[in-house]
Amino acid sequence: MKELLDNKVILVTGGTGSFGQHFIKTVLKIANPKKLIVFSRDEWKQSEMIARNTDKRLRFFLGDVRDLERLHRAFHGVDYVIHAAALKQVPTLEYNPFEAVKTNIVGAENIINAAIDQGVTKVVALSTDKAVNPANLYGATKLCAEKLFVNGNAYSGESGARFSVVRYGNVVGSRGSVIPFFLKERKTGVLPITDERMTRFWITLDQGVQLVLDALKNMRGGEIFIPKIPSMKITDLAKAVDPNCKIKYIGVRPGEKIHETLLTEEEASRTIDIGGCYAVEPYQYYDSGSNGQGVKGKRVPEGFRYVSDTNEEWVTIAQLQTIIKTLE
């Protein structure tokens, strides 16, 4: 990994977010990039990062992925782009749909065009389990973004940029996730839960960063990388936060699923088990060097599905309590 990153110019869109900051911290620790560029639209968060970080390898670039001209400027001389910028609050986006489209879809198109035009070597885009059989606008925009990035390889040609995607579940303790919300609500003695059957995939920030780094290393262009991660019952999380709290069932919110899916039966025919994760291969590779061969591994069984309620690995209440202690 050090060899992959050393002396490279790496840009992270949404670099002031939970994932972006953790990715940047990790890369600066394990490698010696030539430059690591934080691209985001939040000047206040950038100023906070600047105050905390004196590393001379860091650069800060104000901009919005909606602005193609700004992306062209930012991508000049960049080797790798990690695209983490997105609007992702499900209830908010249900009532502000055009804003979601502008950032999550048009922004994805802009990333692709700017990367091709500026000679970026590799782009890894972050996606979500909500992009699979989407039930809300956020998921639909991320599904569309996935399609754009996978097929962006057709536009860049044999010598151009390569695009791949990582798709994973809820990030433990990230901004807007349920644990910080429950920690706040437990003061009232009541924890609101939408449905007692609800399950979710869980991934830590460390795991998310490692998945992106592995994708950057293994990608040929067009793959969707999916980690093998545990599931969690929302009722177990409530018990872990405070077993003495009452639980109030409030009903499923608009666009919310009972269970989440990371890999569908339709994708299984193109899916390789490569050990720590699955890789959904594109219908066609566009680099001649692949000779039709992508990542190495074993094909998953026909009809395979990866769904949060039928997952073989689960987070226990005790494990959840350990996680919660680190976030209090």
Better-predicted residue by pLDDT, 202 or 1: 202
Q: Say what the pTM is.
A: 0.93
163 compared with 325, residue with greater pLDDT: 163
pLDDT tier at 91, thresholds 50, 70, 90: confident
pLDDT, residue 111, reads 98
pLDDT at residue 279 in the model? 96
pLDDT over threshold 80, residue 174 = no
pLDDT of 177 over the 80 cut: no
What average pLDDT does range 1-5 have in this prediction? 90
- Residue 74's nearest CA partner among 24, 35, 43 is 35
In percent, the amount of the chain with pLDDT more than 90 equals 76
- Predicted confidence (pLDDT) per residue in 18-73, tens digit: 999 999 999 999 999 999 999 999 999 999 999 998 889 999 999 999 999 999 99
Strands 9-13 and 80-83: parallel
Whether 176 has a pLDDT exceeding 80, the answer reads: no
What type of residue sits at position 68?
Answer: L
pLDDT value at 122 more than 60: yes
Fold of 2-169+204-228+262-307: Rossmann fold (3.40.50)
Calculate ∠ Cα 307-316-18, nearest 5°: 70
Q: Is the pLDDT of residue 8 over 70?
A: yes
How confident is the model at residue 325, as a pLDDT?
83
pLDDT digits (tens, 9 = 90+) for 143-160: 999 999 999 999 987 668
For the chain, the three-class secondary structure string (H helix, E strand, C coil) is: CHHHHCCCEEEEECCCCHHHHHHHHHHHHHCCCCEEEEEECCHHHHHHHHHHCCCCCEEEEECCCCCHHHHHHHCCCCCEEEECCCCCCHHHHHCCHHHHHHHHHHHHHHHHHHHHHHCCCEEEEEEEHHHCCCCCHHHHHHHHHHHHHHHHHHHHCCCCCEEEEEEECEECCCCCCHHHHHHHHHHHCEEEECCCCCEEEEECHHHHHHHHHHHHHHCCCCCEEEECCCEEEHHHHHHHHCCCCEEEECCCCCCCCCCCEEECHHHHCCEEECCCEEEECCCCCCCHHHCCCCCCCEECCCCCCEECCCCCCECCHHHHHHHHHHHC
pLDDT at 173 over 70: no
Cβ neighbour number for residue 262 with a 10 Å cutoff: 25
Task: Give the pLDDT band of residue 289 (cuts 50, 70, 90).
Answer: low
Q: What pLDDT does residue 293 have?
A: 61
Cα(87)–Cα(13) distance, integer angstroms: 12
pLDDT per residue as tens digits for the range 232-284: 999 999 999 999 999 999 998 877 889 999 999 999 999 999 998 999 999 98
Q: Which two tokens stand for residue 204?
A: 């830590």
Distance in angstroms (rounded) separating the CA atoms of residues 49 and 43: 10
Ramachandran angles phi, psi of 82, nearest 5°: -110, 115
The per-residue pLDDT of the chain, averaged, comes to: 92
The answer on pLDDT for 198 being more than 80 is yes
Please list the active-site residues: 130
State yes or no: pLDDT of 186 exceeds 70.
yes
Letter string b/e over residues 63-77, b meaning 16 or more CB atoms within 10 A of that residue's CB: bbbeeeebbeebbee
Q: Going by DSSP bridges, is the β-strand pair 306-307/298-299 parallel, antiparallel, or unpaired? A: unpaired
